[in-house]
Amino acid sequence: MASESLYLRVKRDIAARIESGAWPPGTYIPSEPDLQQRYRVSRTTVRKAVDELVGDGLLTVIHGMGTRVVAQRLSLRPATLMSFTQMMLAQGIVPGRTSESLTVETAQAEVAAALGIPEDADVVCFRRVRTADGTPVSSNSSYLPLDLFAGYDLDQLLAGQSLYAQLEQAFNLIVQTTEDTFGIARADSRLAADLEVKVGEPLLIIARHGFDKADRPIEYSRIAIRPDRYRHSVTLRRK
């Protein structure tokens, strides 16, 4: 019991320092030897305290670099459809967008199937990196059928923060329903640069299908997310 109370004391103190801002999100806590000296405890005690804080989501171990304080995670409990911008603002987080590009491309097989269009049809591809309080959170590639924008200036998609809000306000296109499929992939060089992670780090991947009020597919997005910045909760109830 004595050893248990000792590691809990270390754990509580580290957590308190994180909460107070002494060790801010994104920074590295002292090394194991430094923590042993600070708390005058064994390596085993330090490691147990740190392991539990990793399990609690306060710390993450970056191999070859050290143990980093995890930034606040964006948290979503799906009930009503919210844009990424709305979700961040609801949690008091400043949304941002960088590395924007807007192109017209020929639909690849995956995109064409998702949008219900021929493979040789043209689509608008809107790529951007979404940030939370200035830190990259996700790399988004959204595809929309080009014929939806006939007679409009495509550059209007670049205005504002929220794609869904801009679709509605500038083009009278409303994404009424989305269906998300979740997966895991490792960061390639482009995603690693976009999200400021190492090549090979695991990322949460969302394939999103967006439908209008008539259940017509009008959006297909591939979203790569840093898992240390996002948590998705689903509640299931028995009928």
In a domain, 88, yes or no: yes
Regarding whether 99 and 58 lie in a shared domain, the answer is: no
Q: Has residue 3 got a pLDDT over 80? A: no
Regarding whether 116 and 14 lie in a shared domain, the answer is: no
Q: Has residue 224 got a pLDDT over 80? A: yes
In a domain, 187, yes or no: yes
Range of the domain at 168: 74-232
Domain count, the chain: 2
In a domain, 219, yes or no: yes
In a domain, 85, yes or no: yes
Tell me if residue 99 falls in helix, strand or coil. Answer: strand
In a domain, 238, yes or no: no
The band of 142, judged by pLDDT with boundaries at 50, 70 and 90, is very high
The band of 1, judged by pLDDT with boundaries at 50, 70 and 90, is very low
In a domain, 36, yes or no: yes
> Is residue 203 within 8 Å of 185, Cβ to Cβ?
yes
CATH of the domain at 83: 3.40.1410.10
Neighbouring C-beta atoms of residue 231, cutoff 10 Å: 13
Tell me if residue 87 falls in helix, strand or coil. Answer: helix
Which residues share a beta bridge with 101?
127
Which pLDDT belongs to residue 115?
93
pLDDT averaged over the chain?
84
Q: Has residue 75 got a pLDDT over 60? A: no
Region 65-84 average pLDDT? 62
The band of 66, judged by pLDDT with boundaries at 50, 70 and 90, is confident
Give pLDDT tens digits for 28-52. 899 999 999 999 999 999 999 998 8
Q: Residue ranges of the alpha helices (H) in 21-75?
A: 32-39, 43-55
